[in-house]
Amino acid sequence: MSETLLIIEDEALFGRELLRRFRREGWDATLASSFEQARGLLLGREIEPAVVLSDMNLPDGNALDLLEQARSAGLPGEWVMLTGYGSVPDSVRAMKLGAYDFLEKPPDIERLRLVLAGAARAAHAQRRLAEQSAAEGRRYSPDSYLGASPQAGATREMLLRLSQVPFSALVIGGETGTGKGLAARILHYSGPRKTGPLIEINCAALPRELMESELFGFEPGAFTGAKGRRRGLMEQASGGTLLLDELGELPLELQVKLLKAIEDKCLRRLGGEREIAIDVQFIAASNRNLESEVREGRFRADLYHRLSVFRLELPSLRSRKADLKQLVPLFVREFNAKAGRRVRLIPDGVWQRLEAHDWPGNVRELRNAVERCVLFADGEEFPARWLQLEHATSQARRESQHEGGLWLPLDGSLSLEDMERGIVEAALARSDGNVTAAARLLNSTRETLRYRVEKFGLTKLSS
């Protein structure tokens, strides 16, 4: 398919020659001979050119003013400027407005052909990026946080409000598996920065010695093995959003450098000598209680307060079990499509087991359970045998604890941290919330248990 080219040229002979030449080369070319004619074509959306080739000085206006109006109106496309009166201020302004190139008249035709071909490729990439961003925006809208429960409704309303404001920083809290990554993507792709990049880093997944170079980048020779220059993730996220997942795992010495970069809106690569300006929206996510981490001295208070301009706490699945009716069919459809299955009937017994389970792994655990059942299904009925949830109900679990036991599943549904939380909860429940008595049950100290109570946000259960 030919690319659309708008030629804006007031010299009739030169304009017609350009029109003829580029039509012959396969362009869908249109000629405008004045500022106002071109303005009507562009702002009236009569054409949407991939490339605009424009004389700078027109009888009734300056083409840079038209470029500025087109950019303000959000019109896509690349601009190549021509002038017989080249000047440094004009060329600087053209580049600041995002012009692709700036050539003096009369241009070398072969060079002009190459420049226009490059501009067309850039415009094509720009369109592809815009289409991808629009698709992500449809996929990650506030409505994609599903649930009819009051908790889900309140979270959806907060996501909608946040997506409408240009916030600088946000902290998302909640247990593991509650959808912190989903919330971050909703905020990015529904917000003012949706056309910019979304860069994610898991602070718990990288070795400490690599974290700084990943965040800030490095120059050649900055350390052994640094043979080239690398832009860090903060630099790559400029103009968009940086998601710092599991932020509580970031070492204290790097927290200082991160705070400085956020405050100064600039950074210096490892081994670098100059400051690099950045424009980044920061979203921090953690399943730790960062306020408790601050009190215990494991997280910097100044960084926490700088990031927590807004706080979004995601509810656990056990607190909104009414949402199972929406989430389970959604996951069934997803895995039907992926695996070519045709599960559509969910027996009452399955619903009873789903609603009786406490879902310590939250939505992630639910999704895994549904995937397992759909993939192993032999027909249209959802197979309960592959749920592999704990068989005891909450009441049975309380009875087993009362008898001196504690049941923990070893089927992959609980992380080590979830198990630790369950043990602390059980000890507190056994001792009626008395931390000293619970510590005695666990053969631990009161201070050690108090730290874990605050870590897991169990203060309402303790005294």
| Domain locations in the chain as residue ranges | 4-135, 140-313, 317-386, 394-461
CATH architecture assignment, domain 140-313: 3-Layer(aba) Sandwich (3.40)
Name which of 286, 312, 428, 421 is nearest 360 in CA terms: 421
Cα distance between residue 243 and residue 297, in whole Å: 23
**How many CB atoms are located within 10 Å of the residue 70 CB?**
21
Helix crossing, 416-430 with 446-455: angle to 10°? 120
**Fold of domain 394-461:** Arc Repressor Mutant, subunit A (1.10.10)
CA–CA distances in Å: residue 248 to residues 243, 244, 350, 405: 13, 9, 37, 32
227 phi and psi angles, rounded to 5 deg: -90, -20
Q: Which residues contact 36 (CB under 8 A, 6 or more apart)?
A: 60, 61
The two tokens of residue 166 are 């240009």
Phi, psi of 335 (to 5 degrees): -80, -25
Sign of CA dihedral 430, 432, 433, 435: negative
Predicted TM-score (pTM) of this structure: 0.64
What DSSP designation does 3 have? P
Task: Quote the CATH superfamily of domain 4-135.
Answer: Response regulator (3.40.50.2300)
Nearest CA to 50 out of 70, 32, 77 is that of: 77
Which is nearest to 185 in space by CA: 142, 130, 214, 155?
A: 142
Question: Which class is domain 317-386?
Answer: mainly alpha
- From CA 163, how far away is CA 165, in angstroms rounded? 6
Residue 23 and residue 2: Cα distance in Å, rounded? 10
Look at residues 238, 243, 132 and name the one whose alpha carbon lies nearest to residue 185. 243
Residue 370, both tokens: 């549904």
- Cα 46 to chain centroid distance, Å, stands at 35
Kindly give the pairing relationship between strand 169-173 and strand 310-313: parallel
Helices (H), 241-323: 252-264, 290-295, 301-307
Q: Which residues share a beta bridge with 4? A: 28
Q: What is the pLDDT along the chain (463 residues), one digit of tens a residue?
A: 468 899 999 888 998 999 999 999 889 999 998 999 999 998 888 888 999 998 888 888 888 888 888 888 878 889 998 877 655 566 677 777 778 888 888 888 888 989 898 888 888 877 776 666 666 656 788 999 999 999 999 999 999 999 999 999 999 999 989 999 999 999 999 999 988 889 999 998 888 778 999 999 988 887 877 777 888 999 999 999 999 999 998 999 999 999 999 999 999 998 888 899 999 999 999 988 899 899 989 899 999 999 999 999 999 999 999 999 999 999 999 999 999 999 999 999 999 999 999 999 999 999 999 999 999 999 999 999 899 886 434 444 444 444 456 766 665 556 677 788 888 888 888 887 888 888 888 888 888 888 888 877 776 454 4
Q: Are 201 and 235 in contact (CB under 8 A)?
A: no
* Domain 4-135 matches domain 317-386 at the CATH topology level: no
